[in-house]
Amino acid sequence: MSAAARFSDPELAMTDASAVPILSSRGLAKTFRVGGADVVALQGVDLDIRRGEFVSFVGPSGCGKSTFLNMVAGLLPATAGTAHLAGDPIREPSRRVGFMFQSAVLLPWRSVLSNVLMPAEVYGLDPASLREKARAVIASVGLAGFEDAYPRQLSGGMQQRVALARVLTYEPEVLLMDEPFGALDEFTRETMNIELMRISQAAGITVLFVTHNIGEAVFMADRVVVMTPRPGKVSGIVDVGLARPRTVQTMRQPAYSDLVFEVRRLLGGNHGES
C-alpha cells in the first residue's frame, strides 16, 4: 500500500482524530482589570479532555470556573496560554461547542419549539429544515406535547429541559454547563442529572459540568477537576471509576463515598469533618 493510500484510510484517520484531545488547554490564564487593580481569576490551567468524556469542575466560589468555561467557549479571550478544540485554536464561539447556564434564558413570547429553533437564525440555518429534528430532541428531553407551550406555562425544570433541547438540536461536540440545574429543587436536579448522563452518553457528547455540589460532581463524572481558591488553579483531578449507567443506587456504594471524600480533601478545609 502506498503512503498516500494509507493516510487516506478512514480507519487510520479515525484513530488519529481520537488520539487528539477534544479539548486541551495549556497555561490558560485570565486576569481582569477591575477599577485599576488586577484580579487574577485563573492561573496556568493545563488540561486534556478526551472525546466523550464527562468532566466535572468543583471549586470555591470565585475560583474561575465560569471564566474557564467562557474562554473554552470562545466568549472571552485569555490573558495567557492556549485552548484548542480538536487541535484547532479556539478564537470565537462555534456551533461545535454548546453552552448552558443556570438560567434557561428563553424568550417568553416564543413557544418551546420556536425557542429551540432560535439559534438556527443565528447560525444562518433554515429553521424549517430543523423542525423535525427539534421535535425529536424535545421529545428526548421529556417534553413531547409541549412544543407549542410558552415558557411561563412551564416549571423551572421544564424550562431547563427546553434549554437542553435548544443546545442539543445543533449537535455540539462539546457541551459546557455552568451550574445548569443549580436553581432547581434537589429532586428535579437529580432527575435532570440522570437524564443528562443518558443523553450525553448516547450522543457521545463531551461534557464540562461546573457544579458546587461535590456529590453531584462525582456522581456524574468520569473525572472531577478540583480547583483552588482564587487565583484558580487545578488542585487535583480525581478519576471516577464507577460503573455506568449510574443510578441512585450508585450513591450507596462505599467507592462513591470514598471519591466524595477525596474531592473534599483536595478542596482543602475540613468540610463535613468534625
Q: Of residues 43, 67, 111, 159, which one binds ligand ADP by CB under 6 A?
A: 67
54-58 β-sheet, strand order: 97-100, 174-178, 206-210, 54-58, 223-227, 234-239
- What is the C-alpha separation between 203 and 199, in angstroms, rounded? 6
| Minimal distance, residue 172 CB to ligand ADP, in Å | 21
Query: In sequence order, what DSSP letters do the residues of 208-242 get, joined into one string?
Result: EEE-S-HHHHHHH-SEEEEEPSSSB-EEEEEE---
C-alpha cell of 179?
451550574
Site stretch for ligand ADP (CB under 6 A), options 43-51, 57-65, 184-192, 253-261: 57-65
* Least distance to ligand ADP, CB of residue 60, Å: 7
Q: Which listed range, 5-13, 58-66, 94-102, 236-244, lies at the site for ligand ADP (CB under 6 A)?
A: 58-66
Q: How far is the CB of 63 from Mg ion (least distance, A)?
A: 9
**Spatial strand order in the sheet of 37-49:** 37-49, 23-34, 80-85, 88-89
List for the chain the helix, strand, coil content (%; round to 5).
40, 25, 35
Shortest distance, position 270 Cβ to ligand ADP, whole Å: 21
Determine which residue in the list 1, 3, 5, 34 makes contact with ligand ADP, applying CB under 6 A: 34
**Is 66 a binder of Mg ion (CB under 5 A)?**
yes
Number of residues lying near ligand ADP (CB under 6 A) = 13
- The contact set with ligand ADP (CB under 6 A) reads 32, 34, 39, 41, 59, 61-67, 230
